[in-house]
Protein backbone atom coordinates (compact mmCIF):
# COMPACT_ATOMS: atom_id res chain seq x y z
CA UNK A 1 0.00 0.00 0.00
CA UNK A 2 1.50 3.37 -0.99
CA UNK A 3 2.50 5.79 1.74
CA UNK A 4 1.27 9.39 1.65
CA UNK A 5 4.32 11.10 3.13
CA UNK A 6 2.39 14.32 3.73
CA UNK A 7 0.24 12.52 6.31
CA UNK A 8 3.11 11.21 8.43
CA UNK A 9 3.34 12.29 12.06
CA UNK A 10 5.58 11.24 14.94
CA UNK A 11 3.93 8.38 16.82
CA UNK A 12 4.26 8.09 20.58
CA UNK A 13 4.95 5.27 22.97
CA UNK A 14 3.29 2.78 23.46
CA UNK A 15 2.39 2.57 19.73
CA UNK A 16 3.13 -1.09 18.79
CA UNK A 17 5.15 -0.15 15.67
CA UNK A 18 7.88 1.13 18.02
CA UNK A 19 8.41 -2.43 19.26
CA UNK A 20 8.64 -4.14 15.84
CA UNK A 21 11.85 -5.03 14.07
CA UNK A 22 11.75 -2.96 10.88
CA UNK A 23 12.03 -4.56 7.44
CA UNK A 24 14.78 -3.73 4.92
CA UNK A 25 13.91 -1.37 2.08
CA UNK A 26 14.16 -3.29 -1.22
CA UNK A 27 14.96 -0.28 -3.41
CA UNK A 28 15.20 3.48 -3.13
CA UNK A 29 12.11 4.85 -4.87
CA UNK A 30 10.42 8.23 -5.10
CA UNK A 31 8.15 7.07 -2.27
CA UNK A 32 11.17 6.33 -0.04
CA UNK A 33 12.69 9.73 -0.88
CA UNK A 34 9.37 11.48 -0.12
CA UNK A 35 9.17 9.73 3.25
CA UNK A 36 12.78 10.68 4.04
CA UNK A 37 12.07 14.32 3.15
CA UNK A 38 8.99 14.37 5.41
CA UNK A 39 10.94 12.70 8.22
CA UNK A 40 13.63 15.39 8.00
CA UNK A 41 10.92 18.05 8.17
CA UNK A 42 9.31 16.40 11.23
CA UNK A 43 12.71 15.98 12.92
CA UNK A 44 13.47 19.69 12.51
CA UNK A 45 9.97 20.75 13.64
CA UNK A 46 10.39 18.67 16.80
CA UNK A 47 13.93 20.00 17.35
CA UNK A 48 15.35 16.48 17.24
CA UNK A 49 18.69 15.19 15.99
CA UNK A 50 17.38 11.92 14.57
CA UNK A 51 14.16 10.19 13.57
CA UNK A 52 13.59 6.56 12.57
CA UNK A 53 10.88 5.32 10.21
CA UNK A 54 9.10 3.36 12.98
CA UNK A 55 8.66 6.70 14.76
CA UNK A 56 6.41 7.81 11.89
CA UNK A 57 4.52 4.52 11.86
CA UNK A 58 6.52 2.74 9.15
CA UNK A 59 8.29 -0.55 9.80
CA UNK A 60 11.12 0.40 7.40
CA UNK A 61 14.87 0.20 8.07
CA UNK A 62 15.55 3.88 7.57
CA UNK A 63 16.39 6.86 9.71
CA UNK A 64 17.36 10.49 9.23
CA UNK A 65 19.79 12.48 11.33
CA UNK A 66 21.21 15.95 11.71
CA UNK A 67 23.35 16.52 14.80
CA UNK A 68 24.15 20.18 14.00
CA UNK A 69 20.65 21.43 13.14
CA UNK A 70 22.03 23.03 9.97
CA UNK A 71 19.86 22.41 6.85
CA UNK A 72 22.80 21.24 4.75
CA UNK A 73 23.71 18.59 7.32
CA UNK A 74 20.62 16.36 6.94
CA UNK A 75 21.51 12.71 6.33
CA UNK A 76 19.42 9.73 5.25
CA UNK A 77 20.43 6.20 6.31
CA UNK A 78 18.65 3.36 4.49
CA UNK A 79 19.20 -0.25 5.67
CA UNK A 80 21.93 0.84 8.10
CA UNK A 81 24.29 -1.65 9.69
CA UNK A 82 26.43 -0.72 12.68
CA UNK A 83 29.85 -2.29 13.13
CA UNK A 84 33.15 -1.85 14.91
CA UNK A 85 31.91 -0.22 18.12
CA UNK A 86 34.68 1.52 20.01
CA UNK A 87 36.08 -0.18 23.09
CA UNK A 88 35.22 2.78 25.29
CA UNK A 89 31.64 3.43 26.30
CA UNK A 90 30.11 6.32 28.14
CA UNK A 91 26.79 7.19 29.77
CA UNK A 92 24.88 10.21 28.53
CA UNK A 93 21.33 11.51 28.89
CA UNK A 94 19.08 10.71 25.94
CA UNK A 95 15.58 11.71 25.05
CA UNK A 96 13.27 10.44 22.34
CA UNK A 97 10.74 12.24 20.15
CA UNK A 98 8.36 9.26 20.56
CA UNK A 99 8.65 9.28 24.35
CA UNK A 100 8.09 12.92 25.36
CA UNK A 101 9.05 14.18 28.81
CA UNK A 102 11.31 11.18 29.46
CA UNK A 103 15.09 11.29 29.60
CA UNK A 104 17.40 8.51 30.62
CA UNK A 105 21.08 7.94 31.07
CA UNK A 106 22.10 5.41 28.40
CA UNK A 107 25.57 3.88 28.12
CA UNK A 108 26.78 3.38 24.56
CA UNK A 109 30.11 2.90 22.75
CA UNK A 110 31.68 6.31 22.12
CA UNK A 111 32.48 5.53 18.48
CA UNK A 112 30.98 3.36 15.74
CA UNK A 113 31.07 2.69 12.00
CA UNK A 114 27.88 2.62 9.95
CA UNK A 115 27.22 1.20 6.48
CA UNK A 116 24.05 2.42 4.77
CA UNK A 117 22.48 3.59 1.52
CA UNK A 118 21.62 7.25 0.90
CA UNK A 119 18.49 8.68 -0.73
CA UNK A 120 20.10 8.38 -4.18
CA UNK A 121 20.55 4.63 -3.64
CA UNK A 122 24.32 4.93 -3.18
CA UNK A 123 26.07 2.90 -0.47
CA UNK A 124 28.31 4.73 1.98
CA UNK A 125 30.33 4.11 5.13
CA UNK A 126 30.95 6.59 7.94
CA UNK A 127 32.81 6.37 11.22
CA UNK A 128 32.13 8.81 14.02
CA UNK A 129 32.56 9.43 17.72
CA UNK A 130 30.55 11.53 20.13
CA UNK A 131 27.04 12.72 19.31
CA UNK A 132 26.81 11.32 15.75
CA UNK A 133 27.81 7.85 17.02
CA UNK A 134 25.22 8.07 19.80
CA UNK A 135 22.46 9.20 17.42
CA UNK A 136 23.19 6.40 14.94
CA UNK A 137 23.00 3.84 17.75
CA UNK A 138 19.80 5.32 19.19
CA UNK A 139 18.07 5.36 15.79
CA UNK A 140 19.29 1.87 14.92
CA UNK A 141 17.80 0.70 18.22
CA UNK A 142 14.45 2.02 16.93
CA UNK A 143 14.84 -0.12 13.81
CA UNK A 144 15.20 -3.14 16.10
CA UNK A 145 12.23 -2.31 18.33
CA UNK A 146 14.48 -1.18 21.20
CA UNK A 147 13.65 2.01 23.14
CA UNK A 148 15.54 4.06 25.71
CA UNK A 149 13.08 2.55 28.21
CA UNK A 150 14.90 -0.76 27.66
CA UNK A 151 18.32 0.78 28.30
CA UNK A 152 17.61 3.07 31.25
CA UNK A 153 18.98 2.52 34.71
CA UNK A 154 16.66 1.44 37.54
CA UNK A 155 17.01 4.96 39.01
CA UNK A 156 15.91 6.54 35.72
CA UNK A 157 13.03 4.08 35.50
CA UNK A 158 11.82 5.24 38.92
CA UNK A 159 12.36 8.93 38.09
CA UNK A 160 10.34 8.58 34.86
CA UNK A 161 7.67 6.23 36.21
CA UNK A 162 4.87 8.82 36.22
CA UNK A 163 5.63 10.17 32.70
CA UNK A 164 5.80 6.63 31.29
CA UNK A 165 2.53 5.65 32.98
CA UNK A 166 0.82 8.76 31.54
CA UNK A 167 1.97 7.84 28.02
CA UNK A 168 0.71 4.28 28.47
CA UNK A 169 -2.71 5.57 29.58
CA UNK A 170 -3.09 8.10 26.75
CA distance 170 to 40: 26
Q: Where are the domains of the chain?
A: 5-169
Binding-site annotation: residue ranges: 96, 138, 142
CA distance 8 to 149: 24
Please confirm, yes or no, whether 84 is among the known catalytic residues.
Answer: no
Q: Which residues contact 29 (CB under 8 A, 6 or more apart)?
A: none
State the number of CA atoms in the 13 A half-sphere of 132 facing the CB: 17
Catalytic choice (70, 84, 105, 139)? 139
- From first to last of its 170 residues, the chain has per-residue pLDDT tens of 789 999 999 999 999 999 999 999 999 999 999 999 999 999 999 999 999 999 999 999 999 999 999 889 999 999 999 999 999 999 999 999 999 999 999 999 999 999 999 999 999 999 999 999 999 999 999 999 999 999 999 999 999 999 999 999 98
Domain 5-169: what homologous superfamily? Peptide deformylase (3.90.45.10)
Cα 20 off chain centre by: 13
Q: Which residues contact 123 (CB under 8 A, 6 or more apart)?
A: 115, 116, 117
Amino acid sequence: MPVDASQLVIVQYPDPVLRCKAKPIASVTDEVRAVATKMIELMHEARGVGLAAPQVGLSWRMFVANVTGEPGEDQVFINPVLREPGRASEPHDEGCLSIPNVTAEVTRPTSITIDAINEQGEPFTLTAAGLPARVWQHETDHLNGVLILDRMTPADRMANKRAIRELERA
